[in-house]
Structure 1
Amino acid sequence: MLDNLDRLDDHFVSPRNAGVLLQANAVGSFGTLRWGDSVKLMLRIDRRTNRVDRAQFQAFGCSAAIAAASATTEMLSGKKLDDAAAISAADIADYLGGLPAERMYCAVMSYEALQRAIVAYRGGTVLQKTDATPSCKCLGVSQMMIERTIRFNRLTSMEQVTQHTKAAGSCSSCFKQIEGLLARVNAEMVEDGLIEKRDAYQLGSTPQRALDLKPRGEPQPGTNIFSAKIAPAHLRATPRPEPARAAPTATTTLELDAPTQATLIAEALDELRPHLKRDGGDCELVSIEGNIVYVRLSGNCVGCQLSSVTLSGVQAKLADKIGRPLRVVPVS
């Protein structure tokens, strides 16, 4: 029997059911590059029995995000759709033998992707307008997502809300709004008998010093990690062949001078580094030689089983920034 840590590591090192499911008839995604992690669940549901015949996933993020998505696909196998819909984020975490408190959002992420897949299969609307309105603008976390996570997981502190949703984890701009949301939902949960009154969050319970230590930031535009422009190569759909085009003439080809290209590459890496640092890794620019960019991975990125995923993401980011493909090579 694997202990808790071994089970989590096992699903990360040897993820089950990873890859694209071409015959999927239910697909749900959650997360963005701005959020820091993303998962896409693809289900093949037998319409005669209403059971999940097969489940596969694609994920971009930390080891816990990959492990949670892997575990979710195993939990779904053979389940009736109603039973699959009843799987909670806590169930996913329990299946892995538990998750570190600061990684609980990974189970929530797979739960959200699962719910979107099921709603899409049943022909419903995945996101209502109110659900798309972000309460945490830095990370693009919606009010409805925060509220249902509080209810389903019976959260009673701002720290727990951040651990499960990342909301208010980047800066202090949205803290007061989310604090008010937590207090309101907890009061409703007390009325419904879900929590004790003594456990409900009260406005002002978080020390002001903890709030003062948070930076104030401006929100960055969100990006779908599975979009063609930003997704690593292994996450992109196979492009359809395009009709032959005439070769571009010298007057239509834009060539960047070396200093400009170097500046754009440095800017692209600076935009990616906060996401890597959030999971204990980093990626630094070493040198540029023509179309080859040499980088140095450090921290948790060194020796990581998915370092190739990180490099693919860096390569896609640079190509998007420069406007043409570049090769990214790691150096020690």
Structure 2
Amino acid sequence: MWDYTDKVMDLFYNPKNQGELEDSTEPGIKIAVGEVGSIACGDALRLHLKVEETTEKILEARYQTFGCTSAIASSEALVDLIQGSTLDEALKVTNKEIADYLGGLPQAKMHCSVMGQEALEAAIYNYRGIAPEVHEDDDEGALVCTCFGISDTKIKRVIRENNLTTAEEVTNYVKAGGGCGSCLATIDDIIESVRQESAAPSGNSLKKNTASQQAEKPLTPVQKIALIQKVLDEEVRPVLIADGGDVELYDVDGDSVKVLLQGACGSCSSSTATLKIAIESRLRDRVSKDLVVEAVEPSLL
């Protein structure tokens, strides 16, 4: 029997947030749903959020899960952590916080907390109508674990985010290697490649991280503006233009970046999400973690 904490057992035996939220007819209220996992793999979670559109506050959350004690307890913990918060605040919740809220989870059950975090992100991105980029196209990597359909990209992400060092830990977090076990040697190779990448990036890794490495060095105001413009032109604008929008750099004052949203982005109800997710998060990653992006109203120009 698993060594569960009293908190895990209490939430398992006394769940308060199971169920679903039906589409609301209330004005200014929207229901968002995020789903991860599959019944075929033994775990599935569907998360429902009731969101106040003007404030993006989560008024209520419910979940439906197919899984074990840890899956139910992790889902309950997730709802407790996010109810009453804004969507931006909820996005900061990590799988580690879910596990900590429960007083810890057995290592072999950590994938349940990861599933909760991913369902939350899926629900929020579905609400905002933005494709989730934070997971680096998990499904587009080479398939490593055929039993559970896990790609090398997802394995690398989880290794980096949780500082994993063994194939057993990877299995605990994403189940890869937990079926027939034929991919365990490949997972070991991936762990080693991530370790080498982190210790001494070279080749493609060096090229990939050039902008972020530049950001770690002190930048002059001119260098900062040039790097911001480069990231906008090469990484942000192509995505926005594909959706009928665009962005123009208006001003940079210290860590304050002012931009002008154009086209579909200027009139879109999700313009705040575009600013924070598509633009600010990218600039913070590539240039400086202290940057704050604001939109300039065309009427004020």
TM-score, length basis structure 2: 0.58
Distance in 1 between the 2:121 and 2:200 partners?
A: 27
Give 1:3-42 correspondences, 5 Å limit: 5-23=5-23, 25-42=31-48
Structure 1 residue corresponding to 2:53, chosen from 47, 52, 55: 47
Give 1:191 shift. Answer: 5.4
Give 1:147 shift. Answer: 2.1
Q: 1:60 to 1:169 in 2, by over 3 A?
A: same
Give 1:137 shift. Answer: 0.9
Deviates more, 1:7-16 or 1:20-29: 20-29
Structure 1 residue corresponding to 2:181, chosen from 166, 172, 182: 172
Cα deviations across residues 169-221 of structure 1 (Å, max 9, x unaligned)?
112322233222222223334459xxxxxxxxxxxxxxxxxxxxxxxxxxxxx
**Partner amino acid for 1:96?**
L
Contact 1:32–1:38, Cα closer than 8 Å, also in 2:
yes
SS of residue in 1 equivalent to 2:40: coil
**Partner amino acid for 2:110?**
M
SS of residue in 1 equivalent to 2:76: helix
Contact 1:28–1:117, Cα closer than 8 Å, also in 2:
yes
Distance in 2 between the 1:108 and 1:20 partners?
A: 21
**Partner amino acid for 2:59?**
D
The structure carrying a bigger helix percent of its residues is 2
Distance in 2 between the 1:184 and 1:124 partners?
A: 31
Distance in 2 between the 1:123 and 1:27 partners?
A: 12
Contact 1:30–1:40, Cα closer than 8 Å, also in 2:
yes
Contact 2:21–2:31, Cα closer than 8 Å, also in 1:
no
**Partner amino acid for 1:169?**
G
Q: Are 2:98 and 1:92 equivalent residues in the alignment?
A: yes
Give 1:129 shift. Answer: 9.8
Cα deviations across residues 235-267 of structure 1 (Å, max 9, x unaligned)?
xxxxxxxxxxxxxxxxxxxxxxxxxxxxxxxxx
Contact 1:16–1:71, Cα closer than 8 Å, also in 2:
no
Percent identical residues: 39
Gaps of 5+ in 1: 193-332
Give 1:36 shift. Answer: 1.1
Distance in 2 between the 1:103 and 1:181 partners?
A: 22
Contact 2:48–2:123, Cα closer than 8 Å, also in 1:
yes
Q: 1:31 to 1:107 in 2, by over 3 A?
A: same
Structure 2 residue corresponding to 1:102, chosen from 108, 115, 134: 108
Q: 1:85 to 1:191 in 2, by over 3 A?
A: farther
Q: What's the counterpart of residue 72 of structure 1?
A: 78
**Partner amino acid for 2:196?**
A
Q: 1:13 to 1:135 in 2, by over 3 A?
A: same
Deviates more, 1:6-15 or 1:31-40: 31-40
Distance in 2 between the 1:148 and 1:122 partners?
A: 23
The Cα RMSD (Å) is: 2.1
Contact 1:16–1:73, Cα closer than 8 Å, also in 2:
no
Cα deviations across residues 153-172 of structure 1 (Å, max 9, x unaligned)?
11111111111111011123
Specify which structure has the bigger relative contact order, considering alpha-carbon pairs within 8 angstroms and separated by 6 or more residues. 1
Give 1:117 shift. Answer: 1.1
TM-score, length basis structure 1: 0.53
Contact 2:59–2:83, Cα closer than 8 Å, also in 1:
yes
Structure 2 residue corresponding to 1:132, chosen from 139, 149, 160: 139
Distance in 2 between the 1:117 and 1:97 partners?
A: 25
Q: Are 2:116 and 1:142 equivalent residues in the alignment?
A: no
Give 1:130 shift. Answer: 4.7
Q: 1:81 to 1:175 in 2, by over 3 A?
A: same
Q: What's the counterpart of residue 169 of structure 2?
A: 160
How many residue pairs end up in the alignment? 189
Structure 1 runs of 4+ aligned residues shifted over 4 Å read: 126-130
Deviates more, 1:152-161 or 1:84-93: 152-161
Cα deviations across residues 98-146 of structure 1 (Å, max 9, x unaligned)?
0011111110111111111112112122489952253211111233332
Q: What's the counterpart of residue 255 of structure 2?
A: none
Cα deviations across residues 61-80 of structure 1 (Å, max 9, x unaligned)?
11110110111011111112
Give 1:8 shift. Answer: 0.4
Contact 2:139–2:154, Cα closer than 8 Å, also in 1:
no
Contact 1:151–1:189, Cα closer than 8 Å, also in 2:
no
Contact 2:165–2:191, Cα closer than 8 Å, also in 1:
yes
